[in-house]
């Protein structure tokens, strides 16, 4: 996946980043977890080979969107496992433990936004 951060800009209050073809995940030097846009929300491109995992971890203080662009991934949040195919999206509290396993080669976007404080 190609992430061309040179195209990221703030012209007119709009930031733009270009993602390449999810089938060409590492062809141009992008790694398995490549920042796409910083700030809030933060956007990260994730590519995994079939069988590859991201161990359980947390993102305290955030809400997370996990959007599968290609392939299939198993996402376990707070002990509940879901299988996500291309085009599927999961939303969850980043403070809950999350683990990911690629069932097939897959590419995903992860969007992390600051959680609103509860009153």
* C-alpha distance from residue 68 to each of 1, 11, 32, 84, 107 (Å): 13, 28, 14, 7, 6
pLDDT tens per residue across span 52-88: 999 999 999 999 999 999 999 999 999 999 999 999 9
SS (H, E, C) 45-60: EEEECCCCEEEEECCC
pLDDT tens track for 16-60? 777 765 554 444 444 566 777 778 888 999 999 999 999 999 999
Residues in the chain, total: 119
Q: Please give the pLDDT value at position 38.
A: 78
6 vs 13: which has the higher pLDDT = 13
What's residue 2's pLDDT? 41
Measured between alpha carbons, how far is residue 51 from residues 71, 91, 97 in Å? 12, 23, 20
Domain 33-114 has CATH 2.60.120.10: yes
Start-to-end CA span in the chain (Å): 41
pTM (2 d.p.): 0.77
Give the dihedral sign, CA 92/98/49/3. positive
């Amino acid at each position: 996946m190609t992430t061309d951060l040179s195209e990221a800009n703030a012209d007119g209050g709009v930031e733009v980043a270009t993602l390449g073809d999810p089938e060409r995940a590492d062809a141009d030097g992008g790694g398995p977890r490549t920042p796409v846009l910083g700030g809030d929300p933060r956007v990260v491109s994730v590519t995994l080979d079939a069988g590859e995992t991201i161990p359980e971890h947390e993102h305290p203080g955030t809400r997370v969107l996990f959007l599968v662009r290609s392939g299939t991934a198993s996402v376990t949040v707070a002990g509940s496992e879901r299988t996500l195919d291309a085009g599927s999206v999961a939303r969850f509290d980043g403070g809950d433990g999350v683990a990911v396993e690629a069932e097939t080669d897959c590419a995903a976007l992860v969007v992390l936004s600051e959680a609103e404080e509860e009153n």
